[in-house]
Amino acid sequence: MLGNINAVANLAVKNLGIARRFYEDTLGLSPADTDCEDMIAYRSGNTRINVYQSSYAGTNQATAVTWAVGDDIERIVAALKDRGVRFEHYDMPGTKLEGDVHVMDKMKVAWFKDPDGNILNLVDE
């Protein structure tokens, strides 16, 4: 039923001004048209990410958004690091850390957080 319809990620933040600087200036996302006062919608490929103000910001302790970046993962990690992004390092069985990239069997993943602690990641798919 929903398999052919794009999904939208929703991220709760405490301060839209701080979130705007991170998502636009650091990650390079472009705002989509929206009339909401307490939400900013961003374009990311063929999808959207809604960043909205909420008192529940920072309470999610799992990955909220994943970007499939293919073979560009190391280049993108380096570029984001140059823009001040700090990458998370997790100790997981069967995983080797190469710089800021976790390497598992046939997959590479890099996790980072936005200013409110939302967990975001890049994967080489």
Tell whether 1 is covered by a domain.
Answer: no
Tell whether 2 is covered by a domain.
Answer: no
Number of domains in the chain: 1
Q: In the chain, which residues have pLDDT < 70? A: none
Tell whether 24 is covered by a domain.
Answer: yes
Segments of the chain assigned E as strands: 8-13, 30-31, 39-44, 47-53, 63-68, 87-88, 95-98, 101-104, 107-113, 119-123
Report in angstroms the alpha-carbon separations of 1 from 47, 51, 111.
18, 26, 31
Tell whether 3 is covered by a domain.
Answer: no
Residue 16, domain CATH: 3.10.180.10
pTM above 0.85, yes or no: yes
Tell whether 68 is covered by a domain.
Answer: yes
Reduce the DSSP state of residue 70 to 3 states and report it: helix
Give the residue numbers spanning the domain of 59: 8-123
Tell whether 111 is covered by a domain.
Answer: yes
Tell whether 40 is covered by a domain.
Answer: yes
10 Å CB burial of residue 118 (0-12, 13-18, 19+) is buried
The per-residue pLDDT for 10 is 95
The per-residue pLDDT for 11 is 97
The per-residue pLDDT for 34 is 74
The per-residue pLDDT for 28 is 96
